[in-house]
């Protein structure tokens, strides 16, 4: 997570690439706010959030992985794949293309992590099609999303092709892996410190607590510390 050394806040505090773009366009911002008030833009569906809590990527829950780090070149494909597992009981398609917010973002904001294209998922629910966008991390009615982002679509992948891909059987992200868990122990204190001013703190704050309890974080941490002490003692005894 990129931080500002002066206040240790996350990059674009209170914003994502999408919201930074909106803040530069009064007409779009007003359209966005109106759509929110009309229920045409919402957080991800609660059932999707629940499913993400039950998935794991690396040593994070799916919910933490998708929401904590800003979407960039290094993680967009992983976030997209993980989200398809939370949507596999719905009719969906993956869409690749460029959007206004990704076309306009300045390279200097992300450097080598800069991403000037987008990938999103379009989901049919009843009479509506919703867009699950990985930059705003919002669910928007397709018509509103296209009005705000003017996407230039380059490729569409049907959900059936995603679900039936042979590689999908190799990993379903339902198991927590504690390999290299020392990295989690190193990251978690800073994550808990950052969450109070994270743009998605209302989702992440309770999720961090739930996740730690679910994986028995304190017990795992104690075990690693005890193993370290044992190894250190064995080393000292050999000297």
Query: Mean per-residue pLDDT for 128-140?
Result: 95
Classify residue 207: in a domain, yes or no: yes
pLDDT band at 178 (very low <50, low <70, confident <90, very high): confident
Cα–Cα distance list, 218 to 191, 212, 214, 224 (Å): 16, 8, 10, 10
Task: Report percent pLDDT > 90 for the chain.
Answer: 58
Residue closest to 40 by CA, chosen among 32, 50, 28, 48: 32
In whole angstroms, give the CA distance from residue 95 to residue 81.
12
pLDDT band at 235 (very low <50, low <70, confident <90, very high): low
Classify residue 4: in a domain, yes or no: no
Task: Report percent pLDDT > 70 for the chain.
Answer: 85
The first and second tokens of residue 87, run together, are: 């949507």
Same domain, 55 and 153: yes
Query: Structural domain of residue 198, as residue ranges?
Result: 181-238
pLDDT band at 229 (very low <50, low <70, confident <90, very high): low
Cα–Cα distance list, 146 to 117, 124, 127, 130 (Å): 15, 16, 17, 11
Classify residue 162: in a domain, yes or no: yes
In whole angstroms, give the CA distance from residue 173 to residue 168.
10
Same domain, 42 and 159: yes
- What's the predicted TM-score (pTM) here? 0.85
Query: What would the pLDDT profile of 45-97 be if each residue is shown by its tens digit?
Result: 999 999 999 999 988 999 999 999 888 878 899 999 999 999 999 999 999 99
Classify residue 158: in a domain, yes or no: yes
Q: Is residue 96 within 8 Å of 109, Cβ to Cβ?
A: no
Same domain, 114 and 221: no
Same domain, 87 and 134: yes
């Amino acid at each position: 997570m990129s931080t500002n050394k002066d206040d240790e806040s996350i990059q674009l505090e209170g914003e994502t690439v999408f919201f930074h773009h909106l803040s530069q366009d009064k007409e779009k911002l007003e359209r966005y706010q109106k759509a929110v008030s009309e229920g045409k833009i919402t957080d991800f569906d609660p059932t999707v959030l629940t499913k993400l809590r039950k998935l794991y990527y690396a040593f994070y829950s799916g919910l933490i992985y998708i929401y904590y780090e800003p979407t960039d070149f290094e993680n967009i494909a992983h976030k997209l794949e993980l989200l398809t597992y939370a949507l596999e009981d719905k009719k969906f398609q993956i869409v690749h293309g460029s959007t206004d917010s990704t076309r306009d973002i300045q390279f200097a904001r992300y450097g080598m992590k800069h991403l000037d294209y987008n990938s999103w998922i379009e989901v049919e629910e009843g009479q509506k099609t919703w867009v699950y966008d990985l930059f705003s991390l919002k669910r928007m009615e397709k018509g509103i999303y296209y009005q705000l982002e003017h996407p230039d679509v380059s490729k569409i992948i049907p959900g059936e092709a995603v679900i039936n891909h042979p590689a999908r059987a190799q990993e379903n992200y339902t198991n927590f892996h504690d390999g290299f868990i020392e990295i989690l122990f190193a990251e978690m204190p800073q994550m808990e410190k950052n969450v109070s001013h994270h743009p998605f703190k209302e989702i992440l704050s309770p999720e961090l607590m739930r996740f730690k309890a679910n994986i028995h974080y304190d017990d795992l941490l104690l075990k690693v510390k005890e193993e370290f002490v044992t190894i250190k003692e064995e080393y000292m005894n050999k000297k």
